[in-house]
Structure 1
Amino acid sequence: MRFVVYKSGASALSQVWRWRLVAANGKTIADSAEGYYSKADCLHGIELVKGTNVLTPVVEV
């Protein structure tokens, strides 16, 4: 698996940073669902996801 960081948006002014988690078979299995105005914020979002583990609760709503 790997995280892919990229810019998206129609114009240079509307571009935001996003990430996606891609499996070995090339399929996207998770994405940022929101855009980040700075690359640093995008990378921080990735670190938050990487910080989850088996102790992270799963909640049904």
Structure 2
Amino acid sequence: MREAELWQRLTAQLGSGYAHVWAEQVVLADLGGRTVTEALAAGVPCKTIWRAIWSQLELPARER
């Protein structure tokens, strides 16, 4: 997964106005206590980040 797809999926779930705010403010345990933005900056694979988002937002299996 590329970063553009990650942002597209997150925006589809949270809306364009909230996705980036959420990514900067919500700390995810599955990312080692980092936000999505911090995880991206640290080089965490986008697929790993998406799985953490998927889990946090309790999305349906089809969104995985």
TM bin, normalised by shorter chain, reads 0.3 to 0.5
Q: Please, what TM-score do these two structures have when normalized by structure 2?
A: 0.34
Higher strand share: 1
Q: Please, what TM-score do these two structures have when normalized by structure 1?
A: 0.35
Q: Which has the larger radius of gyration?
A: 1
